[in-house]
């Protein structure tokens, strides 16, 4: 019944020079060789996308961008487009990370534009959603997520979304060492899947991978992955070191 291949993704954020990125990527390739039941992705900074893609070529490590702009090309100083990302060797694009929402004015509307641009370029979008600590305290978690998902996926149909990955990252758990308990995470993941089912039908809802993110480490990954609606993880801090990240990838002991 279960058809979703788990995805363990590493978000390197603004870390590593090109040289360091290539070195860690090479090391990771060696450490996760032979892993077949789990897909592995790393998202280095833009400048390292091409050399890292080159370094992991032919391996089971895929590369993703941390963001992308919705126009294909033009006078948009400082921006990087989906075709540029794909031709640099990426298969994935992270969209709407909470740090982009918090520090760079990302909204559900811009998430929606980026998502469409990624899909058009056949990149696998990893759309990030998550509530803040205050929103959770005010018991607004579900309404916040409902809006982020609905507006993020606006004007899209189930036929468009077969490759979609959603990353649930409670903002209060990112980089704080506070992980949602596996039970808290499962509750939200189930909610997100039911939202998808309502809008796009059961077939798509069962297909979409929903990752958890926020202080994921080798010590907590197995328990999280034991939850039925958790299909992987988006890992920040613990993805920077190849050895630590490979332990997360090999959470099932294989
Ligand atoms: P963290 O970051 O693992 O360092 O908490 C997760 C993320 O922001 O994707």
Query: Which CATH number describes the domain made up of 7-249?
Result: 3.20.20.70
**Could you tell me which residues come within 8 angstroms of residue 234 by beta carbon, excluding any fewer than 6 positions away?**
9, 11, 94, 126, 128, 167, 169, 211, 212, 213, 216
Determine the pLDDT at residue 3.
Answer: 81
39, 62, 97, 106: which one is catalytic?
Answer: 97
Active-site residue, 20 included: no
Active-site residue, 97 included: yes
**Could you tell me which residues come within 8 angstroms of residue 253 by beta carbon, excluding any fewer than 6 positions away?**
none
**What separation, in Å, do the N-terminal and C-terminal C-alpha atoms of the chain show?**
22
Burial 59-84 (b: 16+ CB within 10 A, else e): eebbbbbbbbbbeeeeeeeeebbbeb
Helix (DSSP H) and strand (DSSP E) numbers for the chain: 11, 8
d(CA 227, CA 183): 8
Determine the pLDDT at residue 2.
Answer: 53
DSSP-assigned states of every residue in 71-87? SSSSS-TT--BHHHHHH
For residue 238, the ligand 1 atom closest to its alpha carbon is 3
**Minimal-distance CA residue to ligand 1 atom 2:** 236
Strands 232-235, 209-213: parallel, antiparallel or unpaired by DSSP?
parallel
Calculate how far, in angstroms, residue 75's C-alpha sits from the geometric centre of ligand 1: 32
Q: Which of 11, 12, 167 to mutate to test the pocket of ligand 1 (most atoms within 8 A of CB)?
A: 11
Tens place of pLDDT for every residue, the chain, 254 residues?
458 999 999 999 999 999 999 999 999 999 999 999 999 999 999 999 999 999 999 999 999 999 999 999 999 999 999 999 999 999 999 999 999 999 999 999 999 999 999 999 999 999 999 999 999 999 999 999 999 999 999 999 999 999 999 999 999 998 888 888 999 999 999 999 999 999 999 999 999 999 999 999 999 999 999 999 999 999 999 999 999 999 999 999 87
Calculate how far, in angstroms, residue 98's C-alpha sits from the geometric centre of ligand 1: 10
Q: Is the pTM of this model over 0.85?
A: yes
Calculate how far, in angstroms, residue 221's C-alpha sits from the geometric centre of ligand 1: 13
Determine the pLDDT at residue 175.
Answer: 86
**Minimal-distance CA residue to ligand 1 atom 3:** 236
Q: Which of 101, 133, 234 to mutate to test the pocket of ligand 1 (most atoms within 8 A of CB)?
A: 234
Determine the pLDDT at residue 180.
Answer: 86
Alpha carbons within 13 angstroms on the beta-carbon side of residue 137 total: 5
- Where along the chain do its domains lie? 7-249
- Ligand 1 binding site (Cβ under 6 Å of any ligand atom): 11, 169, 174-175, 213-216, 234-238
For residue 215, the ligand 1 atom closest to its alpha carbon is 5
Calculate how far, in angstroms, residue 174's C-alpha sits from the geometric centre of ligand 1: 5
């Amino acid at each position: 019944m279960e058809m979703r291949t788990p995805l363990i993704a590493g978000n390197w954020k603004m870390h590593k020079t090109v040289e360091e990125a290539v070195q860690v990527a090479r090391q990771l390739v060696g450490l996760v060789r032979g892993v077949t039941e789990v897909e592995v992705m790393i998202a280095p900074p833009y400048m390292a996308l091409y050399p890292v893609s080159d370094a992991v070529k032919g391996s089971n490590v895929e590369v993703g961008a941390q963001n992308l702009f919705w126009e294909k090309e033009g006078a948009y100083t400082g921006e990087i487009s989906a075709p540029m990302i794909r031709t640099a060797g990426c298969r994935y694009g992270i969209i709407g990370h909470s740090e982009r929402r918090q520090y760079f004015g990302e909204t559900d509307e811009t998430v929606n534009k980026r998502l469409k641009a990624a899909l058009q370029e056949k990149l696998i979008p990893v759309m990030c959603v998550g509530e803040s600590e205050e929103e959770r305290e005010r018991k607004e978690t579900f309404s916040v997520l409902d809006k982020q998902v609905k507006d993020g996926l606006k004007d899209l149909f189930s036929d468009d979304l077969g490759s979609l990955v959603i990353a649930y990252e409670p903002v209060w758990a990112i980089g704080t060492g506070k992980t949602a308990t596996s039970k808290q995470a499962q509750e939200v993941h189930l909610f997100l899947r039911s939202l998808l089912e309502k809008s796009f039908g059961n077939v798509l809802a069962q297909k979409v991978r929903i990752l958890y993110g926020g202080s994921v480490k080798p010590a907590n990954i197995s328990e999280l992955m034991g939850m039925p609606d958790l299909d992987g993880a988006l890992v920040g801090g613990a993805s920077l070191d190849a050895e630590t990240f490979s332990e997360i990838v090999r959470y099932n002991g294989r």
